Amino acid sequence: MGLRVDPTYRQRRFGVEVRRLREAAGLTVSEAAQVLGMRQPHVSNVEAGRTSLSAERLQKLAQALSGTYTYPVDALLALGRESGKGWWSDYHATLGANHLDLAELEAGAVALHSYELLLVPGLLQTFEYATAVHSSGFSPAVNDVRETAVEFRMQRQRVLTGDQPPRLHAIIHEAALRVLYGGRAVMRDQLLRLIEASRLPNVTIQVISLEDEGRSAFSHPFMLIEPDVVELGTVLIDQLGKAQYLDDRQSVAEYGQSFARLSELALPPVDADAVPEARTAKDSLGLIQHILYPLL
């Protein structure tokens, strides 16, 4: 099998985790090659995500660990097996790695924790809203593939209603709900879409109110993507259309704590089926409806 020229994020992540496993075992690349019965360049290519590693060899590497250190070897094996394959592969020739890597991560997640300041999360956008957002892009390259990018975003949303869908917990700042991307009618339908999406059993939506004094918003949007094993989680930070992935244990833990604090600051989740008289305090649904009524 030839070496991968352009490995996906998950393939690169597999290599990173193999390196972490090797380092936890206290082995140099040369020593790991001897343990695994491989040449040193092969080990280096594995750690760069350019090729994979068999289950037998991965188990050999794990056996070199000390008894006080545990590692999710089975989850790492699954990561290596599943990387790079899926419906998103059809878009490889037209969209960049940012799009494909995100769809692949979402497909392998059990939970998605999304925080947005100025946009509705992509997994909850209507077609018209997504089109308006992409039309506002500053990069000519974005305009060249606008229709394909919007189509791709709509395809991504199927993860929420497929077999064994991930849990989506979205926290949206009120500011994002007041920016009229596409005009009043588009934003009205988008707000209605949020209420509709909240009825899915795996979707939780909260709003942070502008009126909450002393409750400043987090400085930038992010999404915490959690697979079956927490240690293999990833934080996605999207700035000016460029994705940054953080996968070290400390960053994942810190962003998880930040999301938990944001959830405490936000209004209670949207409950579209709650009768008005049952609501005794300000909540996310009430705020969305307050913004929605002038648009009707």
Q: Which of 66, 82, 98 is the last residue of a domain?
A: 82
Q: What's the pLDDT score for residue 7?
A: 84
Q: What's the pLDDT score for residue 231?
A: 79
189 domain-assigned: yes
| 201 and 255 together in one domain | yes
Please provide the average confidence, as pLDDT, over all residues in the chain.
87
What's the CATH code of the domain at 51?
1.10.260.40
| 268 and 236 together in one domain | yes
Percent of the chain exceeding pLDDT 70 equals 89
Q: Any idea what DSSP says for residue 214?
A: T
Three-state DSSP class for residue 176: helix
Q: What's the pLDDT score for residue 169?
A: 98
| 108 and 229 together in one domain | yes
Report d(CA 152, CA 156) in Å as an integer.
6
Three-state DSSP class for residue 2: coil
Full-model pTM: 0.88
Q: What's the pLDDT score for residue 139?
A: 55
| 76 and 215 together in one domain | no
Q: What is the 3-state secondary structure (H, E, C) of 19-82?
A: HHHHHHCCCCHHHHHHHHCCCHHHHHHHHCCCCCCCHHHHHHHHHCCCCCCCCCHHHHHHHHHH
Report d(CA 90, CA 273) in Å as an integer.
38
Q: What's the pLDDT score for residue 136?
A: 79
| 69 and 193 together in one domain | no
| Total tally of structural domains belonging to the chain | 2
Highest mean pLDDT among 8-12, 36-40, 190-194: 190-194
1 domain-assigned: no
| 78 and 91 together in one domain | no
pLDDT digits (tens, 9 = 90+) for 65-118: 765 556 677 777 777 766 667 899 899 889 888 889 999 999 989 999 999 999
Q: Which of 53, 82, 111 is the last residue of a domain?
A: 82
| 168 and 33 together in one domain | no
Instruction: Enumerate residues 6+ apart whose C-beta is below 8 A from 95.
Output: 145, 148, 149, 152
What's the CATH code of the domain at 261?
3.30.870
4 domain-assigned: no
Say if residue 204's pLDDT is above 90: yes
2 domain-assigned: no
The domain of 126 spans 87-295
| 101 and 232 together in one domain | yes
Report d(CA 268, CA 171) in Å as an integer.
10
pLDDT-based confidence at 181, cuts 50/70/90? very high
Report d(CA 218, CA 142) in Å as an integer.
27
Q: Which of 62, 82, 102 is the last residue of a domain?
A: 82
3 domain-assigned: no
